[in-house]
């Protein structure tokens, strides 16, 4: 019904809304309308930040590479192993949009067929250099904090993903590299939701 109107107008729509705010607590604090919240909150899909699902980075990076190479008529076909390693290690505070921007920038600047580390933003390269100098970097600490358990899990993911990357996704070789039993590595991957196949660029 229009504001000030008397007639009811029927519509058939679906609304998809996205936010990074804690709407439930905002409702309790009076910062978000309760009626609107319950109209929107029918089916909720919680998507963790990119730093907590780094196994998605190779597939996303390859997708953006193909898209922007085609859009810019470039011959880029692949991402070098070192560049991919840097992409996986970076915490991506800007999430998928920041990753997309980094790949688009690299494509625009490229002159060859391989996206190398030199084409990545300085922030990504510098973190990689720091990691190389001091070993693995711990997960980035968000401004609102992080539970110690989650931080340890993220660190485990980084180590396992890097091992799998360096071994071409072969779990047995990665287990040897990490000095654990293959069954132990398999259980860790299952617990952390890591797929070895998704880590190997096509």
The domain spanning residue 183 has which CATH number? 1.10.8.60
Better pLDDT: 133 or 63: 63
Cα–Cα distance for residue pair 191/35, rounded to 1 Å? 38
- Where does residue 10 rank: exposed (0-12), middle (13-18), buried (19+ CB within 10 A)? exposed
- Computed over every residue of the chain, the mean pLDDT equals 84
193 domain residue, yes or no:
yes
182 domain residue, yes or no:
yes
Crossing angle of helices 182-191/171-178, nearest 10°? 100
Say which range, 122-126, 128-132, 193-197, has the weakest mean pLDDT: 128-132
36 domain residue, yes or no:
no
8 domain residue, yes or no:
no
113 domain residue, yes or no:
yes
Range of the domain at 99: 50-199
Mean pLDDT computed over 20-25: 86
Q: What is the pLDDT of residues 80-119, one digit of tens each?
A: 988 988 898 888 888 999 999 999 999 999 988 999 999 9
Which of 162, 153, 159 lies closest to 85, judged by CA?
Answer: 162
Q: Is the confidence at residue 129, as pLDDT, over 80?
A: no
Q: What is the pLDDT of residues 131-140, one digit of tens each?
A: 554 455 555 5
65 domain residue, yes or no:
yes
Q: Is the confidence at residue 157, as pLDDT, over 50?
A: yes
- Using pLDDT thresholds of 50, 70 and 90, give the confidence band for residue 72: very high
59 domain residue, yes or no:
yes
129 domain residue, yes or no:
yes
Cα–Cα distance for residue pair 120/133, rounded to 1 Å? 19
Q: Which two tokens stand for residue 30?
A: 């009076």
Number of structural domains (the chain) is 1
> Is pTM beyond 0.95 here?
no
- Percent of the chain having pLDDT more than 90? 32
Which of 198, 170, 166, 200 lies closest to 185, judged by CA?
Answer: 170
| Contact of 69 with 61, CB cutoff 8 Å | no
């Amino acid at each position: 019904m229009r504001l000030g109107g008397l007639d009811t107008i029927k519509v058939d729509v679906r609304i998809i809304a996205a936010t990074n705010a804690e709407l439930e607590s905002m409702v309790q604090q009076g910062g978000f309308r309760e009626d609107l919240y319950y109209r929107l909150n029918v089916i909720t899909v919680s998507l963790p930040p990119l730093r907590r699902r780094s196994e998605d980075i190779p597939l996303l990076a390859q997708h953006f590479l193909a898209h922007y190479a085609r859009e810019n008529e470039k011959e880029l076909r692949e991402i070098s192993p070192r560049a991919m390693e840097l992409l996986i290690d970076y915490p991506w505070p800007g999430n998928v949009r920041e990753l997309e921007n980094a790949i688009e920038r690299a494509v625009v600047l490229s002159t060859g067929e391989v996206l190398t580390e030199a084409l990545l933003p300085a922030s990504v390269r510098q973190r990689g250099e720091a990691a190389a100098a001091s070993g693995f970097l711990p997960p980035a600490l968000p401004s609102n904090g992080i539970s110690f358990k989650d931080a340890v899990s993220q660190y485990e993911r980084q180590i396992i993903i890097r091992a799998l990357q360096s071994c071409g996704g072969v779990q047995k070789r990665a287990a040897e590299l990490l000095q654990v039993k293959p069954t132990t590595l398999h259980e860790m991957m299952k617990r952390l939701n890591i797929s070895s196949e998704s880590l190997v660029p096509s």
